Amino acid sequence: MTGGAGFIGAHLTRALLATGAEVVVIDDLSTGAVSNLAGLPVKLVIGSVTDRSLVEEACTGAGSIVHLAARPSVERSLLDPMATHTVNATGTLTVLGVAQRAETHVVLTSSSSVYGGAGPLPRAEDAPTLPRSPYAASKLAAEGYALAYQAGFGLPVLAVRLFNVFGPYQSVGHAYAAVVPSFIDAALAGRSLTVHGDGRQTRDFTYVAGIADMLCDAAVRRVSHPRPVNIAFGTRTDLLTVISELERIVGRRLSVHHDAPRTGDIRDSQADAATMRTLFPDATGLDLAAALEATVAWYADRTGTTPGAGPGAVPGAPASERF
């Protein structure tokens, strides 16, 4: 597994180990952490997916490669497009070349960002793609290469598009942190939550455990498909609703600061999950409220915080009047 010391990798590693699989992880630890795999019987190879010899060594004898490694963040890609391309596109080519030589099945994780703002909701896999950032373009290139290797070389591939995955082990405390862990971290610490824009933008938020289960199933069964596949449950929630749920969970009102919208962000996102349900008919996911409760509990335990206690309450108007 590439990128296995990251947030999704931490969950997928545990799911794979539960099946009795042997797991080898490649990670350069730029966004992952050794602590995410602490105590697990895995082999960790520290290095980049752009290093072909390292990838070849780590993937020797593998029945399936789950390719999670990426340089994440739309904002980060706008600052350094070439670095994003090198890891996300060229790194993927490296993995595919190794897999082709070893005749190894590949599960590749792409992103809903490839759709951009194009097309009606929910977005099916045949909707137009219109990347709005180098990050999105690099992920579209990666899945394109993967499907080309399948068509051109007969390499069995499943390219999946993920939608706003969140949950335990997701990193916080840096400029490129995702919105849900950023909100939770601020709420527990009593800081103001930063919303870019009006907060009415919508996302298909997906709890990580369900994603890990499907990726595990795909690797074990060596699932392949000739087109990209959305991996999400077709929900649509705006950021203000997420904040309202967090207020319920922590038991107090939260201070919210609105900032300018970010370049490259899309307004709305929602998956058409029909193909996913055909490939993974038993897939289930937590509803947003339960998923946020589980995630807050994990971060609270990690930081020694008790939800509902501490600073951060905002007296006065209800949430609907504060935005």
Q: In the chain, where are the structural domains located?
A: 7-166+207-231, 179-201+235-269+286-321
Residue 233 has pLDDT above 90, yes or no: yes
pLDDT at 316: 32
Check if 169 is active-site: no
Task: Name residues whose C-beta falls within 8 Å of residue 148's C-beta, 6 or more positions apart in sequence.
Answer: none
How big is the CA angle at 138 (ends 274 and 130), to the nearest 5 degrees?
Answer: 60
How big is the CA angle at 163 (ends 160 and 167), to the nearest 5 degrees?
Answer: 110
Q: Homologous superfamily of 7-166+207-231 in CATH?
A: NAD(P)-binding Rossmann-like Domain (3.40.50.720)
Residue with tokens 């319920």: 248
DSSP state of 168: T
Residue 311 has pLDDT above 70, yes or no: no
Are the C-beta atoms of 228 and 110 separated by less than 8 Å? yes
Give the pLDDT mean for 162-186: 91
pLDDT at 186: 96
pLDDT at 177: 81
Residue 125 has pLDDT above 70, yes or no: yes
Give the pLDDT mean for 270-283: 97
- Alpha carbons 295 and 307: distance in angstroms, whole number: 12
Residue 303 has pLDDT above 70, yes or no: yes
Give the pLDDT mean for 221-230: 98
- Alpha carbons 94 and 224: distance in angstroms, whole number: 19
Q: How confident is the model at residue 217 (pLDDT cuts 50, 70, 90)?
A: very high
Give me the CATH topology for the region 179-201+235-269+286-321: UDP-galactose 4-epimerase; domain 1 (3.90.25)
Residue with tokens 């971290």: 185
Tokens of 275: 């193909």
Are the C-beta atoms of 162 and 109 separated by less than 8 Å? yes
Q: How confident is the model at residue 119 (pLDDT cuts 50, 70, 90)?
A: confident
Q: How confident is the model at residue 308 (pLDDT cuts 50, 70, 90)?
A: low
CA 237 to chain centre: 17
Give the DSSP H/E element, type plus range, for residue 58.
helix 52-59
Residue 315 has pLDDT above 70, yes or no: no
pLDDT at 322: 26
Give the mean pLDDT of the chain. 93
The residue from 135, 145, 149, 299 that is catalytic is 135
pLDDT at 306: 72
Residue 179 has pLDDT above 70, yes or no: yes
Tens of pLDDT along 38-79? Answer: 999 999 999 999 999 999 999 999 999 999 999 999 999 999
Three-class SS string for 187-202? HHHCCCEEEECCCCCE
Tokens of 235: 């929900």
pLDDT at 265: 87
Strands, E, within 245-302: which ranges? 256-259
What is the sign, positive or negative, of the torsion defined by CA atoms of 134, 136, 140, 146? positive
Are the C-beta atoms of 130 and 115 separated by less than 8 Å? yes
pLDDT at 309: 53
